[in-house]
Amino acid sequence: MDNKALFKIGYGLYVLSTNYENHDNGCIVNSVMQLTSNPLRIAVNVNKSNYTHDLIKDSCVFNLSMLTTETPMKVFEHFGFQSGRNVNKFEDCKEEHRTVNHVLYLPNFTNAFIACHVVETIDFGTHTMFIGEVLDAEVLSDKPSVTYDYYQTNIKPKPQPKAEKPANGKRRWVCKVCGYIYEGDELPDDFICPTCKHGKEDFEEIL
Ligand code: FE
């Protein structure tokens, strides 16, 4: 079996945000889909290691901000490569961008937002799927939505393949999501990228 077949699934990239007890937070997600039109429901799948996951479990509300192809790398770094446990990612956001569920959306580099409340959760072990009923939604621009493929090709900085092998003879693997480099004899099966929390399947060896 070739697990790379799963990379051929088309994904978008979104900022998933929430608010619990006046604490705002958000992260980058790719697994979003509309489930039904009547009632209007969507699903988002979130890794349990994300602080946003824990906050949504408590608050039962979330927003999705749909990122465009103009989104700079710094937005992905801001929401994806640091934890809301350490920084307030929404420090610079304005109250006017709070929707009916009291959750903020991202006004810039975003072509739409969807505001939801959680009607069901499904536990998938490493992830929780939150099923949300749509409370409000707005189109903000006509810029195209960014796909995961577009992000990989056009936004994410390329890892430096010419990086020489370390003198100690160790092997090196690069995280294809964020560029983090792991050095060692073997990449452990349970390795989780310390920067973006993706697993071994998202690493490739630098030869
Ligand atoms: Fe990473």
Q: What is the DSSP string of 56-125?
A: HHHH-EEEEEEEBTT--HHHHHHHHSS-TTTS-TTTT--GGGB-TTS-B---TTEEEEEEEEEEEEEE-S
| Residue 58 Cα to chain centre, angstroms | 19
Strands of the 181-184 sheet, one edge to the other: 181-184, 171-175, 203-205
Given this model, what pLDDT does residue 164 score? 63
Given this model, what pLDDT does residue 38 score? 97
**Residue pair 109/67 in contact by the 8 Å Cβ criterion:** yes
DSSP one-letter code for 52:
H
C-alpha neighbours within 13 Å on the C-beta side of residue 119: 14
Distance 105 CA to ligand 1 centre (A): 24
- CA neighbor of 50 nearest in space, from 35, 30, 74: 30
Distance 151 CA to ligand 1 centre (A): 14
Angstrom distance (rounded) from CA 171 to CA 165: 7
Distance 132 CA to ligand 1 centre (A): 28
Distance 98 CA to ligand 1 centre (A): 30
Distance 99 CA to ligand 1 centre (A): 31
Global pTM reads 0.83
10-residue stretch averages of pLDDT, the chain, 207 residues long: 89 97 95 97 96 97 98 94 91 92 97 98 97 98 96 85 68 87 92 87 87
Distance 38 CA to ligand 1 centre (A): 38
Name the residues around ion ligand 1, CB cutoff 5 A. Answer: 175, 177-178, 180, 193, 195-196
Given this model, what pLDDT does residue 194 score? 87
Given this model, what pLDDT does residue 169 score? 80
User: Which contiguous run of DSSP H or E holds residue 51?
Assistant: helix 51-59
Given this model, what pLDDT does residue 105 score? 97
Distance 180 CA to ligand 1 centre (A): 5
Sign of the CA dihedral with 52 first, then 58, 59, and 60 last: positive
Given this model, what pLDDT does residue 162 score? 57
Quickly count: other Cβ atoms within 10 Å of residue 79's Cβ: 26
**Residue 36 CB contacts under 8 Å (≥ 6 apart), including other chains:** none
Distance 181 CA to ligand 1 centre (A): 8
Distance 139 CA to ligand 1 centre (A): 31
Q: First vs last Cα of the chain: how many Å apart? A: 23
Q: Say what the alpha-carbon torsion angle 117, 137, 10, 199 is, to the nearest 10 degrees.
A: -40
Given this model, what pLDDT does residue 114 score? 98
Distance 141 CA to ligand 1 centre (A): 30
Q: Tokens 């749909």 map to which residue?
A: 66
Distance 202 CA to ligand 1 centre (A): 8
**Residue pair 147/155 in contact by the 8 Å Cβ criterion:** no
